[in-house]
Structure 1
Amino acid sequence: MASYLFLSLFLFFPHLYASFSSSGSHSCSSLIQFKNSFSITEYASYHYCCSWDGVTCDHLNAHVIALDLSCSWLYGNFPSNSTLFLLPHLQKLNLAYNHFNRSKMPSEFGRFTSLLYLDLSSTGFAGEVPSQVSHLSLSLSGCDLQGKFPKNIFDLPNLNLLNFGDNQLSGQIPRLLGNLLQLTSLDLSLNQLSGQIPLSILNLTQLEFLAISENLLEGSIPDEVTAFPNLKFLYLDNNLVNGTLPSWLYTAPSLDSIGLSQNQFSGHIKEFQSKSLEWIALENNKLQGPLPSSIFQLLNLTRLFLSSNNLSGVIEFRMFSNLPNLDLLDLSYNSLSLTSNTTSRLKRLEMLDLSCNKLQGKIPQWMQEVGNVSLTFLNVSHNSLTEVEHFPWNNIAVLDLSSNLIRGNLPIPASKINVFLISNNSFNGEVSSLICNASDLEILDLSHNNLSGTIPQCFGNLSNSLEFLNLKKNKFYGTIPPTFAEGCQLSNFNLNGNLLEGPLTPSILNCNDLEVLDLGNNKINDTFPHWLGSLPQLQVLVLKSNHMHGSLRVNSSKSSPFFSKIQIFDLSSNYFSGPLPVRYINSFKAIINLEKIGSTVSYMGVNDGFYTYSIGIVIKGQYMELVKIFTVWMIIDLSNNQFEGGIPEVFGKLNLLKGLNLSHNNLNGGIPTSIGNLTSLEWLDLSSNRLSGTIPNRLADLPFLSSFNVSENQLHGQIPQGKQFNTFGNDSYEGNKGLCGFTVSKGCNIIEPAPPNVLEKDGSKSNITFGWKVVLIGYGCGVVFGMSVGYVVFQTGKPKWLVNLVEIQHEKKRRRKSKDGSRRNGRRRI
């Protein structure tokens, strides 16, 4: 620690060291003088100085030739006048893993004319690389360097290490890279480089390490059979590179690791000639055909990742037994069939993933014997397996048998298991309480089976470790266990689609991290559990299709917010009554977002990329099983209840709402114009209520509204025109006799407003207002006017002032006829 303190002060406080000598011959003695200016009592000598951590000296002349200050917790702007630059004989300098606060890289690094190695990885330098350092062997990873590739680097024919990884370099890789003939290590990973890999890279015959992962490269890899004779490590994963795998990949004699995953390679995998390979990663490409037989002769192979390709054929699994060092094998998401007639000898295998292939029948004996001591991860999901007798893997941590055809009673896994997934099978019978011996269980998914009986009470005892519990779509009956203890870790609790009844258990409140609670499609008989609103992390609440009843009116005077993080609120198909829950809606802060919404789309409940929340919900009138829940989905479904009263204006605050369903209730009054504020709304269903008035024109301005239903109400007037409303069919409006417009093939005539002095029969002014217009073609037009009035009356009923006008016209006609008759009769009399 004393040496680190000394070197840190030396670097950041040059004014304390005014006596530092720029003479190389006195460098070590100067360091000692500087050290002795502090109260450090150890004996100072040349040999002691050179024994400090991080300091290396040339013992012949006491020059400091190497400094290693990596991981020294240095923080702050890097001073350009640092006395560090007064060590002219430095050959190696390592400042990696400190934080220089995005300061610019000083050009004074160019003073080190003898420097052969400079490591500034993850130091927080920003900006461009100064041209003065172009003679160095650079390592500048993680420095937030930006802009084009620094071309002055290519004037260094003797450069042997170049590391610009984890920066923000953009543009194409220059062809001049091929000038660096002495390069042994090249790392350009984690940048924004685009275009093709230049053909000149084949000139780098000394390369041992090549990494250009996680960029935007495209095109094919330059190919020449004899290229890269010394290459040991190749990492080009996570790009857009295409074409076939280069021929030199199979012939490079020293190749140890191949990392080409997440690209667009196609064609067959050919036979490897090198026997030195230890790591092959080709997953997530478009490779096809059978596995080459040479793979089974790579005795040093430890990891083989070939998932998510189009590989096919039958593999005799015993061939993998020729690979004694294999510990990770992933062949998932292909079209492979595996057979074996002999016992497996893969005793060291730790991970085996054969999911999404064509495995059939009973889980074979060889699979049960694979790594029965060492195996910690086994995934054979999404196959056609039909039977499993027992789980022999003693140290299994992750076991995924989901989406097969397995039937019979549920075997109990080893007690050390963390993740147990058997969803979408045909398991039946009761779940033994022995499953609770797995005290470290974190994810348990038994959904979509035929399991029955009561839910084991001991699940509550697992809640200190259990995070995901999914028992959806089984035949469990009885009540929800009331045993969730304090410190419960549940974040996802899904009991949807069972036969559960009785009230909810308040012990759920012990699960402070609960994010998703889905109890839909059961027989739960209870009033609304207001107390759930105090769960601080609750995002999804589904209580649909139960026997729940009563009002959602909050009687408590507490001002604390309810359901402040809720995003999906589904109480549909129950017996709730009374007014819509204004207080809850006002508290949905996650749906009321006044800040700019990020563009990144993610999913709820991602567990290390392995497991996500799922839910079943009605979207745009269609029931959908969602394997993943987008974090941007905001949905309220209160349909199929007995809610009454008007739709409150407060709904207009929910500016992130995607879907609103209030259909099949007893709601009355008009559609609030504030609904026009919901600029994120994609579907709106207000059908089968008693709504009246007109459809607000503002709804036509909702940019994403693609599903709209107001059928079976008492709406009237003209349907809004233009934009999204031009895409809705007649079924969106049927059952509203007063609606008119192009969509319902019923034109709207236009009526001028009634004259302001028109009086009711009792002499009062009319208060009737209209959302539609009908043309009055002259007040004295007799038959023409009568026909117009008749059409309007037939379509919309008889507004009172119109009835009065009709009676006035009839009275005028009657009087005219009477006068004419009198005149005619008078003439006769004359």
Structure 2
Amino acid sequence: MATWYRLLSLGRCWLQQLLGPCHRFGTPWAWIVLYSQGLDPAIFKLTSLQLLDLSMNNFGQHILPASGFERLSLLTHLNLSNSRFQGKIPIGISKLVNLISLDLSVSYYDTTEDSLSDYDSSIGIISYVFWLPNFQNLVANLNSLRELYLDGVDMSSSGDWCHALAESLPDLRVLSLSSCFLGGPICWSLSRLDSLTAINLEDNFDIPATFPEFFMDFSNLSVLQLARTNLQGWFPRRVFESKTLRVLDLSGNQDLLGHVPNFSNASSLETMMLDGTNLSFGKPGSFSNFKSLQTLSLDVDFAFMEHQSSLGIHMSLQHLELTQMESTKDLGLILSWIGDLQNLASLELSGWNFSRTSFSSVAKLKNLKSLSMYYCNFTKPSLSAIRNLVNLRSLVINQCELNGPMPSAIGDLADLESLEIIAYDFLGPIPSAIGNLRSLKSLEINAHGLLGPIPSSIGNLSSLIRLAISAFEFSGPMPPAICNLSNLEALEMRSSGFFGPIPYAIGLLKKLTSLRLQECSFSGSIPNSVFNLTRLIELDLSFNLLSGEIPTSVFTIPTLRRLDIHFNQLSGSIKDFDATSSHLVFVDLSKNNLIGHIPKSFFQLRCLAYLDIGWNNLVGSVDLSSFWRLRNLNHLDLSNNKLSVRDMDGEDNNSPSTYIPRVTWLGLSCNLTEFPVSLAHLNQVSYLDLSSNRISGAIPKWMWVTWNSSLTYLNLSHNLLSIMQFTSYVLPFDQLEILDLSFNQLQGQIPMPSPPAAMLYYSNNNFSSVLPNFTLYLGQEFRISKNKISGHIPKSVCDSTIGVLDLSFNNFSGQIPSCLIEDGYMSVLSLRENQFEGMLPTNIKDYCFLHTLDLNNNKIEGQLPRTLTKCLQLEFLDIGNNNMVGIFPSYLGVLPRLRVLVMRSNRFYGSMSGALHNGDKSGEYFSSLQILDVASNNFFGNLSPDWFEGLKSMMTELNSTGEIISALNGSGNGNVEHAYQDTVTIYYKSIYRTFNKILTTLTVIDLSNNSFGGTIPGSLGRLFSLHVLNMSGNAFTGDIPREFGRMTQLESLDLSQNQLSGDIPDALTNLTFLGILNLSNNQLVGRIPWSGQFATFQNNSFEGNLGLCGLPLSNPCDIRPAPPSVAHGEKSSHVDVILFLFVGLGFGIGFAAAILMRWGRIGEWFVKSARALRT
């Protein structure tokens, strides 16, 4: 075989018969490229290969084999671009001395972004790029290389790239290193490469230097792309005079200065991109020399420097990009010039404000076929003139402010084939005129504020192939007219207000290849008519309210490759089905209510690459070897079910390596008691989750060795692990991003990966130490809470870029490095429950990003820095249980997001009411605060009734859904699983309780154990959503405010140990959630109310009030009056007389007299007679 193949090309134009039944062409809207589980080492047996092209395919983010390429010694052309490989570029490529062309580039604008191949989006991070540790080693022997494409390859640590190129590649013609994280200036030695015809270094932001003028000595240079490379200084005019240069892109270099010269000979430039620079025209008319120019990109200010008369002569111009952004120029002249470009076919406008100028000049471009507008601002009638662009084929309005409804004039563009509108301020419905666009093939609308139903006229778009509508507030069923679009191949409804059942008529769309109804509110069962869609490749019904069982037929649609119905309410068991005709590649049924066993049919899906059935209620025993027989399997998640997972191959000590698939993503939170031995044979795992099992003992050494070059995510948390088997406390992982070993029983020194992982979680273990230089290995997050670690924080932590640092519940001591607070780049700093001392730094920078500052229970002294007001993101501040002093920090009231303020057990003093008047007077005073704890300080004075008026978040039931207050991890990727959650300890229901998850519904005010006096303000009663109020241990006087009866969410009320008087208001019986009440040790009097929750309280809630009577106290309320005095004799009540009658006249007469007393004049006579007898 080795002698047969000279050329092997399996790029996007591969042949169906080469691929087998698991691969298939799709449509332009949902096409599937070649999918493979990595590069088969058998390819290295083709030693006679001269050309190998595997570009534009999906190799499942596998890592290229470390060895093997060196065997292809005759190779002259190697193209692995955009093939979803990742990891370190194999050193074997450097030994291909006959290479003429090498392309390992990665495009960040992947045309398959929405296709089936993007199956890994659930991870939250998509990583499929190469990285190169040493550029010199790669190119040292490739002396024959003519073309080098490494776009998107991470070369940030690859050394001196510039000198390596000059020394090793003397005959290089094409150099393309865009987006490679290159550093350092463009060196002079690069001038040796005088055969270069194309140079692309764009999007390398760390090349601060002047323009290398020696580039213009390259006699054959035709393409020069240096956009966004931080070029500085003066740009030479000779570049514009080049006879060979056709493409020049300098855009995005804001510090690049110079003039476009006026020269006699016509320029050869066909494409010139100068937007985002500080270049200008040297003389009027200079632009007229660009006779061949077809594509031009300018800033508006740039264009204003030229006379429009000379600009207007460029009849060759076909594509124009103009950016306005912050310019305040009158756009009338520019628009007039644009209107004269009658041959212009494509126009792109960015940042234009059409509220100050007319759009009509643009509408004069009769030959315009493509119009794209980004970040523009329109007045209501501006776009009406768009109807004049009668030849328009493509219209894009992206991120623009329309300030009104979608213009109905769009309906007059009869030849329009593609319409994309993405906006956030629509005010009205989709116009019915959109039904006039009979030539429209693609329609995408993504808009908030779009009201009313989708017009039935949308059913007139008979040519429509793709329809995507998402993110708008329309609420109702899916319009039946959509089901009339018989040519539709792709239908997407996302984040919409659609509800009700999925229409049965959806089955009439016979040409559908992609059906995505995501993040809607569709309910009911999956309609059987879906199974009539015999061309369907992709079915995505995720994030809905669908219920019932999964129809068996959905698994047997012969064309279906991707099935995603996760996050619904589907129930019942998954029935077995005939898998012989199925070509399913992707199946996601996670986060439903499925029961029963895993169907055996799943193990017969020979094309299956992705299977996620986690977060259900599946039961039974399953053997991993059943999954290993699925040769294409790449992603497997069985987590959070009731499964019993076995590893029979591991138990028999038989190596499954002869058939085990190349699984890279594995989730097995499945009640495991030991590590599956067969995992040791998976040599390219990038994601492994074995959390929440019952695995005990040691973490095996093979886990650190086998995957050190592939692993990006490892989660072993919530197990019983106690030992780590490794030879060094520095773990050599090439790509590790997340390591979670928290909630185990691990001991000794904490290991640190190198290079640093982004997120490290070691909390809740028994670790006793860290590496002396551990700060050298810090990434974005480092959490070691609740261990037994002591020592100081080294000052070298200031050299890191850490965003989340949690050292809480340890034994650290010494001073806190000032940079952790002053530099402001951290989002979370938790040093709770340690022995830190000293004072807090005061010079916090303006760009403070601090979200959480938790210093509770240390030995910190001094005052709270006023510069904390610069931390506008601050939500959580806990400085309780320290030795801090000062007055109440009213200045913090201006922080718009501050939710938790804990200052208990310090030495703060003064009047809080006085502090109010020094704070913010706008009414937004502590407006987001939900927990205020200033207990056990030295505050005194009366509380102003106005003090509580600013606590807006406690006045209404905001966030009644009970969200958790949390700071996302330092990477900001939104991974909820590892979101940092604040911890607070408060006096709650008579005990100190620690909340590890603080809900937004938890509202607390604790003013206890201070010296507050005066009456309690009734304005407290306006805090309707308050849950806990503790004002005990003060000197409050007067009555209990009856307004407290309005705080209907109150669960705990403690007013004990004050000097309150009067009776207990009956209004307090309205507090139906009140579980804890303490009014003891006051001067309250009268009867205790005996209804509602008051019937559940014990004596200790009321003791120490000598004037109280009634249950539950043993002191009854005595109705016997005190002996009357002479002065009050004439005012004795009827009750006094009745008692006399009963005693003096005997029971019988007295009873009768008592009845008669209540009856008119007879009663009055009895009273007088009785009083006479008493005298």
TM > 0.5 between the two? yes
494, 499, 503: which is aligned to 2:862?
503
> Which residue in 2 is equivalent to 1:141?
469
Residues 107 and 459 of structure 1: is their aligned pair in 2 closer, same or farther, counting only changes over 3 Å?
Answer: closer
Distance 1:491 1:36, change over 3 A: closer
Superposed CA deviations along residues 614-634 of structure 1, whole A, max 9, x for unmatched, are 212222223322122122322
Which residue of 797, 804, 819 maps to 1:436? 797
Are the structure 2 counterparts of residues 43 and 235 from structure 1 closer, same or farther at C-alpha, using a change threshold of 3 Å? closer
Distance 1:300 1:367 in 2: 23
Cα drift, residue 222 of structure 1: 0.9
Letter in 2 for 1:203: N
Who is 2:703 aligned against? 367
In structure 2, the residue matched to 1:612 is 981
Counterpart Cα distance in 1 of 2:837 and 2:482? 73
2:667 maps to 1:330: yes
Per-residue CA shift, 1:271-314, capped at 9, x if unaligned?
A: 43233333333332222343543433445444434333233335
Letter matched to residue 1078 of structure 2: N
Deviations 1:225-255 (A, max 9, x none): 8721110111212210112235359666322
Equivalence for 2:562: 233
Q: 2:625: which partner in 1?
A: 293
Give 2:918's aligned amino acid: K
Q: Is the alpha carbon distance of 1:781 and 1:275 closer, same or farther for their aligned partners in structure 2, counting shifts above 3 Å? A: same
Q: After the TM superposition, which residues 633-644 of structure 1 pair with which residues of structure 2 at under 5 Å, given as runs?
A: 633-644=1002-1013
Q: Tell whether the 8 Å contact from 2:342 to 2:366 is kept in structure 1 after alignment.
A: no
Distance 1:383 1:201 in 2: 43
How is 1:87-166 mapped onto 2 (pairs within 5 angstroms)?
Answer: 87=415, 92-97=417-422, 101-111=426-436, 117-122=441-446, 126-134=451-459, 136=462, 137=464, 139-142=467-470, 144-154=473-483, 159-166=488-495
Amino acid in structure 1 at the alignment position of 2:548:
G
Alpha carbons 2:368, 2:391 under 8 Å: kept: no
Change (3 A) 1:97 1:348: farther
* Superposed counterparts of 1:434-583, under 5 Å: 436=797, 439-448=800-809, 450-454=810-814, 456-457=816-817, 460=820, 463-473=823-833, 475-479=834-838, 482=841, 485-486=844-845, 487-498=847-858, 500-504=859-863, 506=865, 509=868, 512=871, 513-520=873-880, 522-524=881-883, 526-528=885-887, 530=889, 533=892, 536=895, 537-544=897-904, 546-548=905-907, 550-553=909-912, 558=918, 560=920, 563=926, 565-572=928-935, 574-576=936-938, 578-579=940-941, 581-582=943-944
Which residue of the partner structure matches residue 820 of structure 1?
Answer: none
Deviating more after overlay: 278-287 vs 723-732? 723-732
* Corresponding residue SS for 2:885: coil
Residue 656 of structure 1 pairs with residue 1025 of structure 2: yes
Instruction: Report the 3-state secondary structure (helix = DSSP H, G, I; strand = E; otherwise coil) of the residue aligned with 1:361.
Output: strand
Aligned with residue 266 of structure 1, among 573, 595, 602? 595
Equivalent-residue separation in structure 2 for 1:714 and 1:558 (angstroms)? 35
Name the residue aligned to 2:761. Answer: 421
CA distance in 1, matches of 2:583, 2:890: 65
Q: How far off is 1:540 after superposition?
A: 1.4
Distance 1:200 1:246, change over 3 A: farther
Among candidates 1058, 1080, 1084, match of residue 711 of structure 1: 1080
Greater Cα offset, 93-102 or 277-286: 93-102
Amino acid at match of 2:748: G
CA 1:350 to 1:686, structure 2 compared with 1: closer, same or farther past 3 Å? same
1:390 to 725, 729, 732: 729
> Relative to structure 1, is the Cα distance of residues 591 and 233 closer, same or farther in structure 2, using a 3 angstrom cutoff?
closer
Q: Deviations over 1:428-465 (max 9, x none)?
A: 342454572671211122334x4343355266378533
Residue by residue over 1:501-538, the C-alpha shift from the partner in whole angstroms, topping out at 9 and shown as x without a partner, is 53345387376243212233x45263555366466243
1:676 and 2:1045 matched:
yes
Q: Is the contact between residue 457 and residue 481 of structure 1 (CA under 8 Å) also seen in structure 2? A: no
**Does the CA-based 8 Å contact 1:196-1:220 persist in structure 2?**
yes
Matches within 5 A, 1:300-319: 300-315=632-647
How many Å separate the matches in 1 of 2:950 and 2:1099? 34
Distance change in 2, residues 1:97/1:219 (3 Å)? same
The alpha-carbon deviation at position 636 of structure 1 amounts to 0.9
SS of residue in 2 equivalent to 1:479: strand
Question: Which amino acid counterpart does residue 930 of structure 2 have in structure 1?
Answer: Q
Other-structure match for 2:1001? 632
Q: Does 1:172 align with 2:501?
A: yes
User: AA paired with 1:40?
Assistant: L
Distance 2:852 2:1029 in 1: 24
Does structure 2 conserve the Cα–Cα contact (< 8 Å) formed by 1:402 and 1:421? yes
Cα shift at 1:204: 2.7
For residues 391 and 510 of structure 1, the distance between their equivalents in structure 2, rounded to whole angstroms, comes to: 40
Amino acid at match of 1:309: N
Asked if structure 2 preserves the Cα contact closer than 8 Å seen for 1:419 and 1:442, the reply is no
* Shift, 1:219, TM fit: 0.6
Q: Which moved more, 1:252-261 or 1:741-750?
A: 741-750
TM-score, normalised relative to structure 2: 0.55
> Residue 803 of structure 2 aligns to which amino acid in structure 1?
E
Aligned to 1:201, what secondary structure does the other structure show?
Answer: helix
**In the alignment, what sits opposite 2:745?**
405
SS of residue in 2 equivalent to 1:399: strand
Cα distance, 1:695 vs structure 2: 0.6
State the Cα deviation string for residues 193-239 of structure 1 (Å, max 9, x = none): 11111233333332111121222110101114872111011121221
CA contact (8 A) 2:628 2:660 kept: yes
TM-score by length of 1: 0.75
Q: Which stretches in structure 2 are left out of the alignment for 5+ residues?
A: 1-272, 274-293, 298-335, 347-364, 373-389, 768-787, 969-973, 1146-1170
Aligned position for 1:59: none
Partner of 1:19: none
2:718 aligns to what SS in structure 1?
A: coil
**1:69 aligns to what?**
395
Q: Is the 8 A contact 2:887 2:910 kept in 1?
A: yes
Could you say which residue in structure 1 is the equivalent of 2:343? 42
Given the superposition, is the C-alpha separation of residues 300 and 666 from structure 1 closer, same or farther in structure 2, using an over 3 Å criterion? same
RMSD (Å) for aligned C-alpha atoms:
4.6
- The amino acid of 1:464's aligned partner reads G
Deviations 1:62-105 (A, max 9, x none): xx999332455674534445563544xx7x44335357935444
Tell me which residue corresponds to 2:963.
602
Q: CA deviation at 1:128?
A: 3.1
Closer/same/farther in 2, CA of residues 542 and 77 from structure 1, 3 Å limit? closer
Bigger drift between 584-593 and 735-744 goes to: 584-593
1:528–1:306 distance in 2 versus 1, CA, 3 Å = farther
Distance 1:308 1:483, change over 3 A: farther
Q: 1:113 to 1:421 in 2, by over 3 A?
A: closer
Gaps of 5+ in 1: 6-34, 56-63, 766-772, 786-811, 817-830
Deviates more, 1:624-633 or 1:414-423: 414-423
**Other structure's SS at 2:1020 match:** helix
Residues 467 and 488, structure 2, Cα contact 8 Å, conserved in 1:
no
CA distance in 2, matches of 1:268, 1:462: 56
CA distance in 1, matches of 2:983, 2:579: 43
Separation in 2 of the partners of 1:383 and 1:482? 40
Whichever residue aligns with residue 689 of structure 1, its letter is N
Give the Å deviation of 1:344. 4.7
Deviations 1:309-356 (A, max 9, x none): 233335589979987764443334x31244266995766544433221
Could you tell me which residue of structure 2 aligns to residue 193 of structure 1? 522
**Size of the alignment, in residue pairs?**
730
1:353 maps onto 2:689 in alignment: yes
CA shift, 1:139, in A, is: 1.2
Counterparts of 1:721-736 in structure 2, within 5 Å, are: 721-736=1090-1105
Q: Report how far residue 661 of structure 1 moved.
A: 0.7
Q: Residues 1030 and 1054 of structure 2 are in contact (CA less than 8 Å); yes or no, is this contact kept in structure 1?
A: yes
In the other structure, the counterpart of 1:9 is: none
Alpha-carbon distance in structure 2 between the residues aligned to 1:726 and 1:190: 48
